[in-house]
Amino acid sequence: MFNRRTALATTSALAATVLATPLQALAQTGKKDSLTLAMTLEPPGLDPTAGAASSIAEITLYNIYETLTKINSDGSVSPLLAEGWEVSPDLKTYTFRLRKGVKFHNGEPFNAEAVKFSFDRAGGDKSTNKDKRTFASLTTQVVDEHTVVVINKDIDPDLLFLLGQATAIIVEPKSAETNAAKPVGTGPYKLGAWSRGASISLTAWPEWRQAGQVRIRRATFRFIPDPAAQVAALMAGDVDLFPRVTPRSMAQFKNNPRYQLIISGSRAKTILAINNAKKPLDDVRVRRAIAAAIDRKAVIQGAADGLGVPIGSHYVPGAFGYVDTTGINPYDPEKAKRLLAEAGIKTPLELTMTLPPAPYARQGGEVIAAQLAKVGITAKLQNVEWAQWLSGTYGNKNYDLTIISHVEPFDLGNFAKPDYYWGYPSEKFDQLYEQIKTATRPADRARLLGDAQRLLAEDCVHAFLYQPQWVTVAAKGLRGLWKDMPVFVNDLSTVSWATP
């Protein structure tokens, strides 16, 4: 699916310097230079280092904030704030050559000190960065104003990719604490206005180093969670672009000459997350019963209109080291009933299923609740807003079951976090993940990744559902859209309207 990002030996080919063009006028007479996008969920803030919501990066990454490396649509990595880099023979030391003449929106210079501040902050004791564990393993050293050395205590073949994600943005030290409401970055756009509950607008920053290449001067992100309203906004022409729109909209746009339809691959995992810390869900037999009650193919049809591939663990086809674990907890309602009886569960077992606003969750919840009911599990559906899910479910771990897509490509390490929201303490997994991080040979790493997938499936940490495919609907004249989505990004600097 996506190019492998672990071939460190070839990174020098990716590290070629990208030359900035001279500053040119942004306006182009006779050409449309504004864009209205839509998103299902509104971000809780605009600082991706402070919150886990992927919607933050959808607006800010590569637009407001930039990173040392840049992740491309095909999953490859290229230079961004770093012009290039070298990797030591032991694969632990990275020397980055930083781009010169770059400044933040507030006029402060971008330099090695800003990189060190950003990475130290991300891994520090007070950090709320969801990738804190990664940054805590890094030691950042300033060589000179435009050279920085990053030493990783472990071997991580995916580090260059991780440094292109939103959690690795380079922040200006004096503005760091207020970025959630007043974001300051080095990117081509600045925050225009934020109308809470409705929209966020970005305006092109004329002092960006390649401002002459930016064709969209103003972009407005509208928040439309309701599937019917999503379709209506597109059909009315109120929205030019809707990445990751509900799949049920496809039929209305497929053969319509006014639109283009893009089906994108992903590295996401849609799961029925189970709170392993709550009784009786701490009993693996109960978790296995839940998984056995679920027909993944029916869920894919009902929640994603067939656009998905069944998974049996927290890993997806096409990823390095993938093994098929769908046969470990197959659909078997009779087995589900037996497991509940073995666990001493008196049916009906009453559980609450918390559902965030995304259509795949709300639609999938209806399908799964009906399936669970057939084996003696009554799932009460509790619809919550995104902020409630982040604070109550993810933050306070106040839930039994919840449907959610984890979109990060490399997030197996979440199962080694003792305080993560699904409450899965496993010394065996922790030891296995430590071996994965330190494996030097690709063959060993692939074998260990397979072992980790099988362990998560056997422990039935969750009912793993499917790898989704994303649907993007856009006006016919838009150019520069991503074909695939290894990460959730709307890179406005590459988008333009075709010449009339």
- Each of the 500 residues of the chain gets a pLDDT tens digit; together they read 333 333 333 333 333 333 333 333 334 445 799 999 999 999 999 999 998 889 999 999 999 999 999 999 888 999 999 999 999 998 899 999 999 999 999 999 999 999 999 999 999 999 999 999 899 999 999 999 999 999 999 888 889 999 999 999 999 999 999 999 999 999 999 999 999 999 999 999 999 999 999 999 999 999 999 989 999 999 999 999 999 888 877 888 988 999 999 998 888 999 999 999 999 999 999 999 999 999 999 999 999 999 999 999 999 998 899 999 999 999 999 999 999 999 999 999 999 999 999 999 999 999 999 999 999 999 999 999 999 999 999 999 999 999 999 988 889 999 999 899 999 999 999 999 999 988 888 899 999 999 999 999 999 999 999 999 989 999 999 999 988 888 889 999 999 999 86
pLDDT value of residue 14: 35
Helix (DSSP H) and strand (DSSP E) numbers for the chain:
14, 21
pLDDT value of residue 15: 37
In a domain, 198, yes or no: no
In a domain, 59, yes or no: no
Across 241-322, where does the E strand assignment appear? 241-245, 259-264, 269-274, 308-310
Whose CA is closest to 274, among 344, 377, 407, 134? 377
115 touches 134 (CB < 8 A): no
In a domain, 275, yes or no: yes
In a domain, 340, yes or no: yes
Bin 107: left if φ > 0, else alpha if -120 < ψ < 50, else beta: left
In a domain, 103, yes or no: no
Query: What is the number of domains present in the chain?
Result: 1
Furthest-apart CA atoms within the chain: distance in Å? 73
CA–CA separation, 65 and 46 (whole Å): 10
Half-sphere exposure of 204 (CA within 13 A, CB side): 23
In a domain, 295, yes or no: yes
Do strands 478-479 and 496-497 pair parallel, antiparallel, or not at all (unpaired)?
Answer: antiparallel
Do strands 349-355 and 377-383 pair parallel, antiparallel, or not at all (unpaired)?
Answer: parallel
Give me the CATH number covering residue 409: 3.10.105.10
CA–CA separation, 149 and 92 (whole Å): 10
pLDDT value of residue 189: 98
Taking the C-alpha atoms of 33, 37, 43 and 46 in order, what is their torsion angle to the nearest 10 degrees?
Answer: -10
493 touches 213 (CB < 8 A): yes
pLDDT value of residue 483: 87
In a domain, 452, yes or no: yes
CA–CA separation, 342 and 23 (whole Å): 71
Count of CB atoms within 10 A of residue 448's CB?
19
pTM score, whole prediction: 0.80
pLDDT (tens digit, 9 = 90+) per residue, 15-73?
333 333 333 333 444 579 999 999 999 999 999 999 888 999 999 999 999 999 999 98
Instruction: Indicate the DSSP class of residue 391.
Output: I
In a domain, 444, yes or no: yes
pLDDT value of residue 18: 36
What is the domain extent for residue 291? 269-468
- 249-253 long-range contacts, Cβ below 8 Å, gap at least 24? 249/471, 249/473, 250/305, 250/471, 253/473
218 touches 33 (CB < 8 A): yes
